[in-house]
Amino acid sequence: MLQQLFTPTVQHVLDLIGIFVFAISGALLAVRKNFDVFGIAVLAEVTALGGGLLRDLVIGAVPPAAFTDLGYFLTPLLAAALVFFLHPEVERIQTGVNVFDAAGLGLFCVAGTTKAYEYGLSLTSSAVLGLATAVGGGVLRDVLANDVPSLVRWDRDLYAVPAIVGSTMVVLCIHYDALNPLTTALAALSAFVLRLLAMRYHWRAPRAWNRRSTVAEEQTP
């Protein structure tokens, strides 16, 4: 068991912030997809809580935090209501989705890695589950919106790498016994900034080598 990183209140507030920003990203995608108010609420909840729910099921933390902490459930509804009434012009939505999503990515890869380690997973598995916590909600969001998940598309800026960096920083800190509020915040911030830079400069991951006649192939799925 790790010693408590932050006071419970600080930890809880950070969790709620991560949930809130992911929920905003889900709700904004729902608006762009032309969903109704329930679709907005559902995508907000799923994006915000999906990754953590997956993590809690995997580590056996049932019932998951999403169902035991009323704040976890209500925060996405608040985000959905804000987006419903106050969302910016549709033209500017995509940027908003991405920036909020980047903030959630940073917070969740750190929180997911830490919780997985507390439940006894190895350092590598904890980092992987932290990554899954961070990207899981977004993947579920895209699946429900019937999109190919941004996570796997080559024409999307780097998304997994920032979360991998954040998760890896956390497990390195654990390994070297250097996990404290400062290093934790640094890991989350690194993931957030890396993701913003990836979006700003359109960093992309390579596709498979030796590809050819892709277009023809795509036409005959």
CB of residue 204 to a copy of itself, shortest distance in Å: 7
Q: Over the Cα atoms of the chain, what is R_g?
A: 18
Q: How far apart are CA 66 and CA 79, in angstroms?
A: 16
| Spatial CB neighbours of 89, under 8 Å, sequence gap ≥ 6 | none
Q: Which of residues 95-124 bind a copy of itself (CB under 8 A)?
A: 119-122, 124
By CB under 8 A, tell whether 172 contacts a copy of itself.
no
Token pair 């250097």: residue: 178
Q: Would you say 24 or 183 has its CB closer to a copy of itself?
A: 24
By CB under 8 A, tell whether 146 contacts a copy of itself.
yes
Give the number of residues in contact with a copy of itself, rule: CB under 8 A: 71
Q: Which two tokens stand for residue 98?
A: 């991405």
Task: List the one residue from 21, 23, 53, 187 that touches a copy of itself (CB under 8 A).
Answer: 53
Q: Would you say 1 or 62 has its CB closer to a copy of itself?
A: 62
By CB under 8 A, tell whether 91 contacts a copy of itself.
yes
Spell 21-38 as b/e; 16+ CB within 10 A means b: bbbbbbbbbbbeeebeee
Task: List the one residue from 14, 19, 21, 59 that touches a copy of itself (CB under 8 A).
Answer: 59
* Closest to 191 in 3D by CA, of 120, 111, 122: 111
Q: Which of residues 32-51 bind a copy of itself (CB under 8 A)?
A: 32-40, 42-43
Q: What are phi and psi of 207, to 5 degrees?
A: -95, 180
Q: Would you say 145 or 170 has its CB closer to a copy of itself?
A: 145
By CB under 8 A, tell whether 148 contacts a copy of itself.
yes
